[in-house]
């Protein structure tokens, strides 16, 4: 009887632990894929990535020597790889678009988009928008807002250090 209880307990522990292990392996593989794409793009454009950070389905890298930032987002719908020379940028800001919906318990806000908006020194040049999160394409909002705010600050420090 004790052996049966031990085996059932082990089976339950394994069944509960396997999804977390698989999610961790999947996240590690996704980060590796994003990093390889970032480094591949950087090497083609003669950049050396000194700083980077990966989010759920995107990664951002910074060549601090040349002041070039590279953004890569890979979703089932699209793959977007963009680079930007920060010497031409005056300011970067993080913008969160929210919608307020009425619920039975009052009102609830939901995030629709999180974007970086780059304003250029040349006033004739239109602003550039990089989307980190769009509720139409992305299923779950994780820590994109904190990520975007942190990197907007970092980008602005690089811009001011010209």
pLDDT tens digits for range 59-118: 999 998 899 999 999 887 788 899 999 998 999 999 988 888 777 777 777 888 899 999
Range of the domain at 86: 2-160
Distances (CA, A) of 110 to 73, 97, 114, 136: 22, 9, 11, 12
End-to-end Cα separation, the chain, in angstroms = 73
Region 27-36: mean pLDDT is 82
Note the pLDDT of residue 23. 75
Q: Which pLDDT band holds residue 162 (cuts at 50, 70, 90)?
A: low
Q: CA–CA separation, 121 vs 106, rounded Å? A: 44
Count of domains forming the chain:
1
């Amino acid at each position: 009887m004790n052996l049966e209880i031990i085996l059932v307990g082990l089976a339950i522990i394994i069944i509960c632990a396997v999804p977390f292990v698989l999610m961790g392996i999947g996240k590690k593989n996704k980060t590796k894929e994003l990093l390889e794409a970032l480094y591949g793009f950087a090497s083609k454009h003669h950049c050396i990535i000194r700083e980077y950070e990966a989010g759920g389905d995107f990664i951002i890298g910074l060549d601090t020597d040349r002041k070039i930032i590279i953004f890569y987002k890979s979703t089932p719908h699209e793959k977007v790889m963009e680079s930007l020379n920060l010497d031409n940028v005056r300011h970067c800001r993080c913008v969160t678009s929210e919608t307020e919906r009425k619920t039975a318990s009052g009102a609830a806000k939901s995030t629709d988009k999180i974007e970086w908006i780059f304003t250029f020194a040349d006033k004739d040049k239109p602003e550039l928008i990089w989307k980190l999160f769009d509720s139409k394409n992305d299923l779950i909002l994780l820590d994109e807002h904190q990520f975007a705010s942190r990197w907007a600050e970092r980008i602005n420090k690089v811009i001011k250090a010209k």
